[in-house]
A and B are shown apart, each in its own frame.
Chain A
Amino acid sequence: MDLTLRVWRQAGPDSPGRFETYAMPGVSEDMSFLELFDVLNEQLLADNEEPVAFDHDCREGICGSCAMMIDGRAHGPEKGTATCQLHLRKLKNGSVITVEPWRSAGFPIIKDLAVDRSAFDRIVESGGFITAPTGAARDANEILVPKEASDAAMDAAACIGCGACVAACPNSAAQLFTAAKYSHLSLLPQGQPERYTRVVAMVEEMEKYFGSCTNHGECEQACPKEISIDFIAMLNRDFVKAQFKNTRLSGQRA
């Protein structure tokens, strides 16, 4: 099939950027979108032009490295699919495809399509963990977790930290990522002791870098793991609850 790519090129964080147009004739429809970029980069190299920089690693939709805004959609048109898993057979032959980096103050551009997503790490560092020093754990089966709760926690935990939610959100909010990380831990019995300190810490850290959620729901559509905005509601509720909670009493209910 034949495609035309319009790709955002930007030499560094502060350099001006622009779209460049590249013709990609005769590409195979079995290729993945990143393989299309591999081919483009080979082509550019042959023309003595610098290859397009883009983050990628696992190429199977799990590491969360790949990140491209494809025709106005984070990760492109296919639902529940990361850029690396998007195959050309899902695109229209002959179309012009515009590719941009994620845009958010929380994700400064490094070069071309690569952005710095380390603000996500800061959010996790602020409280996205369960304090369980190595060696102190009791037998795994002593903690019973209802299957529904465990499944819900897994739904949230499936987040790959790709940042598509931020990229897609009209407000550049990181609510879905933070909610996913938060809910995973707070849905489980193990996560209860730190639940309310966790929610405040994570929300405050998140708000240092990102916008606010006004419930557009765009994030859920863009998320390659189809994480539900139901978790955002949970985050919001617990954040408010945390304000009213007398945590000294939290040992009273088993």
Chain B
Amino acid sequence: MTATQANTGQHRQPVHPGTPPAHPVLRFWRSAVGKKWIMAVTGIMLLGFVFAHMVGNLKIYLGAGPLNTYAEWLRNLGEPALPRTVLLWIMRIGLIGAFFLHIVSAAQLTRMNQRARPSKYQSPRDYAAASFASRTMRWTGVIVGLYLIFHLMDLTWGNANPRYVRGDTYENVIHSFKRVPVAIVYILANIALAIHIFHGAWSMFQSLGLNNPKWNRARRTFAMGFATLIGVVNISFPLMVVTGVVK
């Protein structure tokens, strides 16, 4: 926006310039509404994963046997139709793709929003609706992302876990969480995740256009419930280990 346009009060130059690409898919991807739809769809995949992962992890409370059996079961999933670990890899690739699209969209939209308000308000804002969760999505997202890398190094690749033993999932978890700083990282990250989900699991309905006045209240309840469930259960693992309840 140049000064001349503001001078004449005839805004004709876009703040976000460029011509839309011809191909409909690219055009959809270029638009913020499109990206938000993709974020919502990938968000649902991520929510599904986090939920399933949480349910699986609950086996920690049943002891080493069941958890390890479950981990092994995952690797065998899809057999005999597919060779061992193939379905797991397909799911992993889907998950990686979802994370990738989710994060790239988030980054691009953040850039767009920054350009849309180059000079900030010079006095404090008084928000009436925008919640702490909605205003910190970027940060809670980044925290979850960084946590994820650490988490993989810790429990999947083992390079952040000196006592890592491939295949012995239960012991890996216990040894990891016994370290107080690691437990704290897990707790904080899962709080961030719960906050992220608190807004995200409501917001995705809006982004997808799933709106019906008859059901709108239920969306909030769902998001609240989902966030609480994931938060409480996930935090319980490191908490139980670090306090010695689970050994």
Contacts and interface: CB of A to CB of B under 8 A. Distances in A.
B211 A237 contact: yes
A216 B135 contact: yes
A214 B137 contact: yes
- Which of A19, A104, A241, A243: most chain B Cβ within 10 A? A243
A108 B209 contact: no
B66 interface: no
Nearest to B1: A108
A8 B15 CA distance: 24
B217 interface: no
B3 to A, nearest CB: 5
Nearest to A121: B11
Judged by DSSP, the binding face of A is: mixed
A209 B3 CA distance: 15
A222 B6 contact: no
B190 to A, nearest CB: 22
Contact of B28 (A69, A171, A237, A243): A243
B31 to A, nearest CB: 6
A98 interface: yes
Contacts of A12: 3, 7
Given A212-B36, A213-B36, A105 B205 contact: no
> For chain B, which range describes its interface: under 10, 10 to 19, 20 to 34, or 35 or more residues?
35 or more
Contacts, number: 182
Interface in B19-47: 20, 24, 28, 31-37
Contact of B32 (A72, A110, A119, A212): A212
Interface in B56-89: none
Contact of B113 (A172, A209, A237): A172
A233 B14 contact: no
A116 B11 contact: yes
Contacts of B109: 212, 214
A239 B31 contact: yes
Contacts of A230: 211, 213, 216
Nearest to A170: B130
A208 B15 contact: yes
Nearest to B213: A230
B121 A215 contact: no
A220 B129 contact: yes
A238 B31 CA distance: 14
A211 interface: yes
A185 interface: no
A173 B208 contact: no
B206 interface: yes
A64 B206 CA distance: 27
B117 A211 contact: yes
Contact of B129 (A6, A217, A240): A217
A56 interface: no
A2 interface: no
Nearest to A72: B126
Contacts of B24: 243
A209 B123 contact: no
Contacts of B31: 203-204, 207, 239
5 contacts: A117-B11, A172-B116, A230-B213, A239-B37, A243-B34
Interface of B: 1, 3, 5-7, 9-12, 14-17, 20, 24, 28, 31-37, 109, 112-113, 115-131, 134-135, 137, 199, 202-203, 205-211, 213, 216
